[in-house]
Amino acid sequence: MVQGIQGRRELGDLVLPSDQTASGRTLGDTEIEAVSEAIRSGTLTSTKGSFVKAFERAYAERLGMEYASACSSGTAAMHTAMAALDPEPGQEVITTSITDMGALSPILYQGAIPVFADVDPRTYTVTAETIAERITDRTAAIVSTPLFGNPVGTAEIAALAAERSIPFVEDCSQAFGAADHGRLVGTFGDIGFLSLQQGKHITTGEGGVLVTDDDALATRIRTFINKAWDYESPTPDHTYLALNYRMSELVGAVALAQLAKLDDSVRIRIENARILDELLEDVPGVEGPKVVRENIHSYWRYPLHVDGDEVPGGPDALASALGDLGVAAAPRYIKKPAFACGVFQDQRTFGSSRWPFTLADPSAVDYSRDRYSGTWQALASVLVLPWNERYTADDVHAIGERIHMAVDGLRAGR
Ligand SMILES: Cc1ncc(COP(=O)(O)O)c(C=O)c1O
């Protein structure tokens, strides 16, 4: 509890829209009508229905890609991407230490080893340089993740992957509508994918979608989602080990309706972010996201960079002070680097086997602190503000005022 912050009464009680409820989501009549139509059709499976197929076509067209395949979650999409690339057991997939576990566990399920590249402490993402440090002759794929919607150095990572003939996967789950030097993220890689989970730019509650331009990868993606049964083949068979990760028609109906709202969701988030950028200009020790001028950050969240030398107590104290003022904020985002979680520390996988970690080269599972200085710095300084398209300019002004007040209070020792 921060005592004595002036102005609380004048600002009144702040209630911000939440993307976990109707207040912060743009779900309405078009979704209800689409779902009703799916139900009236009597066909709820995408193998026979039309909604999921229409969503896939619309999404591929939007990105200017040849193929899009919908699936049941972002985690399923990542698993499908890994299965499509089909690494040998024990091969390595270079990815980020700051991400959702749904982007990591599929690597292990597919028998490969996640190898963590360090991140830039200010953009929170892997770079071509930090990835290059981890490439070995066992590297089977590189994954980039524009965290919070901020794309950084995607062309450089794509060039590095191409130069070393390593497949490149873009996890754009948090980055609908983000672009790197004029090109949408998701279109640089051999495979791009996104999540449609409850809190994303558009949502179906749970869901995912993958894109590719590669014919062979597209077939592999489509079939992995369908238990390796190729509905487009005249002689289908379960040709390899695969799962049912299909999106249902009910979800596809919502996805299609939501897609029409994506541009507005991204635009409003960006407009509001510009307002907060300005409001933060004279706040000592607090900065908004570092965005490359030519790029579009699509603001899944608005991360604050908090300098603990300027703001006593750093992100934790600021989160607590903001919480008292009605502004929720998450210090350290995922709390700790992914490799510090039990699954990596204790290598708890299948029974007591520790497989596939048993196949790993020691350097691939070396999580020593000095190899991850950027990661630890990033998490120690980041404070993540929830963000959604239902925020108004007034909401953002209220957030900005409260950040000023909270920082002033902490600096004054109140
Ligand atoms: C970067 C990233 N990758 C993957 C996922 C997994 O997606 P899902 O929760 O839809 O399984 C998420 C989910 O939040 C994510 O933020």
Torsion of CA 245, 58, 180, 152, to 10 degrees: -20
Task: Exactly one of 48, 200, 290, 335 is catalytic; name it.
Answer: 200
Do residues 34 and 75 both lie within one domain?
yes
| Tokens standing for residue 273 | 């972010």
Do residues 252 and 297 both lie within one domain?
no
How confident is the model at residue 11, as a pLDDT? Answer: 55
Q: What is the mean pLDDT of residues 60-65?
A: 98
How confident is the model at residue 6, as a pLDDT? Answer: 45
Which amino acid type is present at position 96?
Answer: T
Q: Band the pLDDT of 264: cuts 50, 70, 90.
A: very high
Nearest CA to ligand 1 atom 8: 74
| Tokens standing for residue 380 | 């120690």
- Whether 150 is in the pocket of ligand 1, judged by its Cβ within 6 Å, is no
Do residues 220 and 292 both lie within one domain?
no
Q: Which residues of 296-329 are buried (b: 16+ CB within 10 A; e: fewer)?
A: bbbbbbbbbbbeeeebeebbebbbbbbebbbbeb
Do residues 211 and 282 both lie within one domain?
no
- Whether 189 is in the pocket of ligand 1, judged by its Cβ within 6 Å, is no
Do residues 381 and 271 both lie within one domain?
yes
The more confidently predicted of residues 46 and 9 is 46
- Whether 197 is in the pocket of ligand 1, judged by its Cβ within 6 Å, is yes
Q: Answer whether residue 5 shows pLDDT above 70.
A: no
CATH of the domain at 170: 3.40.640.10
Residue 279 lies in a domain: yes
**Percentage of residues in the chain having pLDDT higher than 90:** 96
Tell which of 226, 260, 294 closes a domain. Answer: 260
Rounded to the nearest angstrom, the distance between the alpha carbon of 232 and the centre of ligand 1 is 29
Best residue for ligand 1 mutational test, from 19, 75, 104, 194 (most atoms within 8 Å of Cβ): 75
Q: Band the pLDDT of 3: cuts 50, 70, 90.
A: very low
Q: Answer whether residue 341 shows pLDDT above 80.
A: yes
Residue 3 lies in a domain: no
What whole-number distance in Å separates Cα of residue 294 and Cα of residue 151? Answer: 10
Q: Answer whether residue 372 shows pLDDT above 50.
A: yes
Tell which of 260, 278, 299 closes a domain. Answer: 260
Residue 239 lies in a domain: yes
Residue 363 lies in a domain: no
Nearest CA to ligand 1 atom 14: 100
Q: Is 159 exposed, middle or buried (0-12, 13-18, 19+ CB in 10 A)?
A: middle
What's the total number of domains in the chain? 2
Mean pLDDT (the chain, rounded): 96
Q: Band the pLDDT of 13: cuts 50, 70, 90.
A: confident
Q: What is the mean pLDDT of residues 254-278?
A: 98
How confident is the model at residue 361, as a pLDDT? Answer: 97
Nearest CA to ligand 1 atom 4: 103
What whole-number distance in Å separates Cα of residue 65 and Cα of residue 267? Answer: 22
Nearest CA to ligand 1 atom 12: 100
Tell which of 207, 236, 260 closes a domain. Answer: 260
Do residues 253 and 268 both lie within one domain?
no
CATH of the domain at 404: 3.90.1150.10
Do residues 330 and 252 both lie within one domain?
no
Do residues 201 and 277 both lie within one domain?
no
Residue 8 lies in a domain: no
- Whether 174 is in the pocket of ligand 1, judged by its Cβ within 6 Å, is yes
How confident is the model at residue 414, as a pLDDT? Answer: 79
Name the DSSP class of 304.
Answer: E
Contacts of 105 (CB under 8 A, 6+ apart): 75, 343
Residue 345 lies in a domain: no
Q: Is the dihedral of CA 317, 323, 174, 185 positive or negative?
A: negative
What whole-number distance in Å separates Cα of residue 211 and Cα of residue 231? Answer: 18
SS3 191: strand
How confident is the model at residue 7, as a pLDDT? Answer: 41
- Whether 26 is in the pocket of ligand 1, judged by its Cβ within 6 Å, is no
Residue 361 lies in a domain: no
Residue 356 lies in a domain: no
Q: Which domain holds residue 63?
A: 29-260
Do residues 96 and 235 both lie within one domain?
yes
List pLDDT tens digits, range 281-308. 999 999 999 999 999 999 999 999 999 9
Nearest atom in ligand 1 to the alpha carbon of residue 206 is: 10
How confident is the model at residue 269, as a pLDDT? Answer: 98
Best residue for ligand 1 mutational test, from 104, 125, 174, 384 (most atoms within 8 Å of Cβ): 174
Q: What is the mean pLDDT of residues 149-175?
A: 98
How confident is the model at residue 8, as a pLDDT? Answer: 41
Do residues 205 and 286 both lie within one domain?
no
Q: Band the pLDDT of 1: cuts 50, 70, 90.
A: very low
Q: What is the mean pLDDT of residues 215-219?
A: 98
Contact 95, 123 (CB under 8 A): no
Do residues 300 and 177 both lie within one domain?
no
Q: Nearest to residue 199, comparing CAs of 36, 46, 328?
A: 328
Do residues 142 and 189 both lie within one domain?
yes
Contact 163, 142 (CB under 8 A): no
pTM: 0.96
Q: What is the mean pLDDT of residues 127-134?
A: 98
- The angle, 0 to 180 degrees and rounded to 10, between the axes of the packed helices 314-324 and 373-381 is 20
- The angle, 0 to 180 degrees and rounded to 10, between the axes of the packed helices 249-259 and 29-41 is 150
| Tokens standing for residue 148 | 């919070």
How confident is the model at residue 12, as a pLDDT? Answer: 62
Specify whether 200 is catalytic: yes
What whole-number distance in Å separates Cα of residue 402 and Cα of residue 320? Answer: 12
